[in-house]
Amino acid sequence: MFDLDEELRALKKSGLFRRIPAVDARSATHIRINGRELLLMASNDYLGLSHHPHLVSRAAQAAAQWGAGSGAARLVSGSCALFDDLEKRLADFKQTQAALLFSTGYMANIGLLSALAGPGDAIFSDALNHASIVDGCRLSRAKVSVYPHADTRLLESRLRRAGRFRRRIIVTDALFSMDGDIAPLPRLLELARTHDAALIVDDAHGTGVLGPQGRGAVAHFGLEDPDRLIIMGTLGKALGSFGAFVAGSRVLVDYLVNRARTFVFTTALPPADAAAALAALDLVEQDAGLRERLRSNTVFMHRELRSRGFDPGGSQTQIIPIMTGTTSIALAMAADLMEQGIFLRAIRPPTVPTNAARLRLTVTALHTRQDLERAVEALSKAGRRHGLIA
């Protein structure tokens, strides 16, 4: 039908065809593929919580009590106490008046942006924002101005020159998912204030990781502005569960309940996921050791990779890109590493811009020093073989 085959052939020819790896078993740090145990350096389970017994048992209890699925959207068959508890906890965690759960981060972003903005509004979006933000901008039908990555000067001049719009929104990843750098949030909030805009911060990768008690990037910078700041976060990364939320003012949440189509017209996430997220918040708030281990693993990895001559770009965090430029080198490196027992994916366009292919390495709190040393050794061998380092 159509010319799908042809398009797939073209993808294969340019090294952009993707396949889902079949996996026999997985922990936070290891993965088994075809009976072979590999060191996993490619997950977003940054604190290793997805397999934590506290999360697993709370999820099992919730499934026994509430069932495996939610059965309908919350506006159709009502909420469940776990959702209400989790929303209160998330609002406290993010220090906002209220929070609203969404079934995924993707849906949170497209629901939020398309509910808040429409024709006659303007959205200013960082060039490296996640695909769900890009799609939310498109779906909103607002005028979208994509500013070069983290370039607040250019953003300022665009805001100054922008014509008359009903609403202005600046939207940014907090911790960029493919680059590991942190957005200049204090300056973005200043610009939002000066130009009467809202600031949406997608803290998918900072939640649980950055700031006091893992409250995220906004807390990391000590920012507060209940009228302008809207925080989106996910439960499926450092919090080890599944789902997402938007945190902000009470009026924003009431508005989203009525206007965000990805909240209204979709089945609520399974109650077990909410129970697991509640358990994760207990651990994240109480156990600073988890974050300390992640931090020290991150520092170790950055230092080692730089000393071997790799280029981790502007990363300051647990997400460490190893820039290869071409897709073919990224693919060759990933295959070489797989041979050496390390699972690390090649990230290619359209996930990243053309000529910005890379390996996306992530460290977790549960990686041991030996795990990290093994990964560095394997990367160095592969890097030399494929001309990435001398």
Ligand X SMILES: Cc1ncc(COP(=O)(O)O)c(C=O)c1O
Closest by Cα among 52, 133, 111 to 245: 111
Contact between 240 and ligand X (CB under 6 A)? no
Contact stretch for ligand X (CB under 6 A) within 55-63, 200-208, 246-254, 351-359: 200-208
Q: How far is CA 262 from the centre of its chain?
A: 18
Q: Applying CB under 6 A, does 244 fall inside the site for ligand X? A: yes
- One residue of 121, 179, 202, 371 binding ligand X per CB under 6 A: 202
Q: Is 214 in the site for ligand X (CB under 6 A)?
A: no
Residue 104 is a binding residue for ligand X (CB under 6 A): yes
Choose between 109 and 318: whose C-beta lies nearer to ligand X. 109
Does residue 180 interact with ligand X by CB under 6 A? no
CB of 130 to ligand X, least distance (A): 4
Neighbour order of strands in the sheet with 36-40:
25-26, 30-33, 36-40, 342-343
Give the separation between CA 385 and CA 390, rounded to whole angstroms: 9
**Any contact of residue 362 with ligand X (CB under 6 A)?**
no
Tell me the helix, strand and coil percentages in the chain, rounded to 5.
45, 15, 40
Find all residues with CB under 8 Å of 24, minimum gap 6, and list them: 32, 33, 34, 35
Q: Is 91 in the site for ligand X (CB under 6 A)?
A: no
318 binds ligand X (CB under 6 A): no
Alpha-carbon span 66 to 213, nearest angstrom: 30
With CB under 6 A as the contact rule, the residue among 29, 43, 125, 177 that binds ligand X is 177
Q: How far is the CB of 240 from ligand X (least distance, A)?
A: 12
**What amino acid positions are annotated as catalytic residues?**
177, 205, 237
Strands (E), the chain: 25-26, 30-33, 36-40, 98-102, 122-126, 143-147, 168-173, 198-202, 229-234, 244-248, 319-325, 342-343, 346-347, 357-362
Q: Indicate whether 172 belongs to the interface with ligand X (CB under 6 A).
A: no
Binding to ligand X by CB under 6 A, coded x per residue (else -) over 118-147, reads ------------x-x---------------
**CA–CA dist 242, 103 (Å, integer):** 8
**Two structure tokens written together for 222:** 């000590």
CB of 128 to ligand X, least distance (A): 10
In the complex with ligand X, the residue whose CB is nearer, 66 or 106, is 106
How many alpha carbons fall within 13 Å on the CB side of residue 289?
Answer: 3
Q: What is the closest distance, in whole angstroms, from the C-beta atom of residue 362 to ligand X in the complex?
A: 11
Q: Smallest distance from the beta carbon of 246 to ligand X, in angstroms? A: 12
For 360, residues 6+ apart whose C-beta sits below 8 A from its C-beta are: 42, 178, 319, 320, 321, 322, 344, 345, 347
- Name the residue with the smallest CB distance to ligand X: 105
Q: Which residues contribute to the site for ligand X (CB under 6 A)?
A: 104-106, 109, 130, 132, 173, 177, 202, 204-205, 234, 236, 244
